[in-house]
Amino acid sequence: MKRYIIYFLTLMMPVLMGSHGLAASADRSFSNSDLEKYHGDVNGVIIPETKLPAPVKKEKAAKKKQDEKSKQYWCSRGTLLRAKVDRAKDKVESAEQKLAGMDNLSRKKKSRSDAEKKVRSAKKELYRAEQALNDLEQSAHRQNIPPGWLRCQFSY
């Protein structure tokens, strides 16, 4: 008797548990002929249309435009700071020439001390301008910018 109960339960267990319905709800696969059949709205289910990836040409054009902006940015920054350095060098040279042109035995000690102050302030200005240019070069280096971009030398 026990044998029959066990046999009956093993046969009826899948029916009682509902495992016979699993085969119907399993993932379905579709062929190319099914694509035409199920395209669009089917029984209230909307099949989403897939979008193709953006063309590579647009991405390259956008990247090239961004690079050119970057080139122009770095070129303008480098040119501006290099011009400041040149102006500061000119100020230092002119102040030193003016100081050298004064006599050591000048009657006015105040004018000589003023000239020395101008030389010191011009040298400080030169130092700051060179430091700003150096900072820009270091920043460009950290961002993997070619050094030629700072000198407006682009290789195409």
Average pLDDT over residues 6-13: 72
Rg over alpha carbons for the chain, rounded to the nearest Å, is 41
Confidence band (pLDDT; 50, 70, 90) for 26?
low
The 10s digit of each residue's pLDDT in 68-104 is 668 888 899 999 999 999 999 999 999 999 888 876 6
φ, ψ for residue 40, nearest 5 deg: 90, -145
What is the pLDDT at residue 33? Answer: 73
Give CA–CA dist 14/17, Å, rounded.
5
What is the pLDDT at residue 18? Answer: 60
pLDDT at 55 over 90: no
Average pLDDT over residues 58-69: 73
What is the pLDDT at residue 138? Answer: 94
Cα 143 to chain centroid distance, Å, stands at 9
